[in-house]
Amino acid sequence: MSYERDNIRQMTGYTSGEQPVDASTLKLNTNENPYPPSPQVQVRLNDLRIESLRTYPHPTADPLRDLLAVTHAVHRENIVVTHGGDEALRLAVTTYVEPGAAFGMTDPSYSLYPVLAQIHGARVVKIALDDNWHLPRNFADELNEAGANLACIVNPHAPSGTLTDIDRISQLAESLNGVLLVDEAYVDFVDPALRYDAVRLVNAFDNLLILRTFSKGYSLAGLRLGYLIGAAPLIEPLVQKTRDSFNIDYISQQLGEAAITDRAYAEQTWANVRAARRLLRDDLVRLGFAVNPSQSNFLLVEVPLALPMTAEQIYLALKDAGILVRYFDTPLLDDKLRITVGTEGQNRQLINVLQTALNSCS
């Protein structure tokens, strides 16, 4: 006898990337920032006093919301702080999607989306990307036709790294009948010369939510801190109704404040990652791989038939050598690897192992 609801029994859960126990493993599989968090975060951690944990934290993390509001030139009412970006996604699904109604996403995309939609009893509508990983022209029309209450797109896209430009985002927000959530988990790594900035659109559209996280850009994946930016009426029910009470613990609020206050440090890591991304891409192309242009901290690397190994064989060879990358065993991606950009030294280590593996097979 199973007591699970039907939809829970029928679904499979989210599978996260491997987290090795061996500290010597080079982790290039879950898109973490290769640099440590700001030293100011360590200072704040050292200053924490255990007595502070006796009382409940600020229920809506307003001091952190205010710092974020200043950072993004919006108001406190435009921001809800969440337990990782993942809680933000869950809140968006539970707040905006009628159970049974459609939830829209691209294929491929972040594999947590359909899991959250299925838990909620929503109908998942996946729209295929075009050959260059761009949104198809009919994206909004198809979702409107399906009656989607919410659509999530990742920008820059995961796992391709492709950036959708701001005009297209604005056009989508305009034409979708439901809420458009732009998941900007990787936006910190976008080349500033492109002048991509979707936050300035939030007060122009009453249906646009921007997701941000401290996990990638601020090297704080272990902390579980994210937030949404949107027009005040869109944010209000998340803050006042659907969020867990005290969803952000005191320690996370403190460390998040320290991280955002020392944003200059994080910005330097983003610049380093961009520089390393260029070099890594050049090196991979030199080895014979096809690499999609990426505005993220990872590269989607295609293994052409001309190379003596398949993507899966390379994934396994790297794993044997203590380097983890992501291999997706799905029809669209099974000839590709998603490789997180590491430090220049880590990337050189990867290239050396790849070179040796390929040479030994040819």
Ligand X SMILES: *Cc1c(COP(=O)(O)O)cnc(C)c1O
Shortest Å distance, C-beta 176 to ligand X: 19
> Is there binding between residue 156 and ligand X (CB under 6 A)?
no
**Could you give the string, one character per residue 29-58, with x where binding to ligand X holds by CB under 6 A and - elsewhere?**
--x---------------------------
> Is there binding between residue 295 and ligand X (CB under 6 A)?
no
State which H helix or E strand residue 57 sits in. none
> Is there binding between residue 183 and ligand X (CB under 6 A)?
yes
> Is there binding between residue 226 and ligand X (CB under 6 A)?
yes
- Asked whether 164 and 135 are in contact (CB, 8 A), the reply is yes
Q: Which residue has the tokens 């994080």?
A: 266
328-357: contacts with ligand X (CB under 6 A): none
Shortest Å distance, C-beta 214 to ligand X: 7
Shortest Å distance, C-beta 38 to ligand X: 17
User: Which residue, 235 or 317, has its beta carbon nearer to ligand X?
Assistant: 235
Shortest Å distance, C-beta 305 to ligand X: 29
C-alpha 211 chain-centroid distance: 9
Angstrom distance (rounded) from CA 69 to CA 81: 11
Angstrom distance (rounded) from CA 182 to CA 156: 9
Angstrom distance (rounded) from CA 103 to CA 143: 8
Beta strands 226-230 and 208-213, pairing class:
antiparallel
> Is there binding between residue 215 and ligand X (CB under 6 A)?
yes
- Region binding ligand X by CB under 6 A among candidate stretches 40-48, 95-103, 119-127, 215-223: 215-223
- Region binding ligand X by CB under 6 A among candidate stretches 38-46, 57-65, 83-91, 260-268: 83-91
> Is there binding between residue 289 and ligand X (CB under 6 A)?
no
> Is there binding between residue 161 and ligand X (CB under 6 A)?
no
Angstrom distance (rounded) from CA 211 to CA 229: 7
Angstrom distance (rounded) from CA 284 to CA 337: 12
> Is there binding between residue 111 and ligand X (CB under 6 A)?
no
Helices (H), the chain: 6-10, 39-47, 62-72, 84-96, 112-120, 139-146, 166-175, 232-237, 250-261, 263-286, 311-320, 344-361
Shortest Å distance, C-beta 31 to ligand X: 6
> Is there binding between residue 110 and ligand X (CB under 6 A)?
yes
Which stretches of the chain bind ligand X, using CB under 6 A?
Answer: 31, 84-86, 110, 154, 158, 183, 185, 213, 215-216, 221, 226
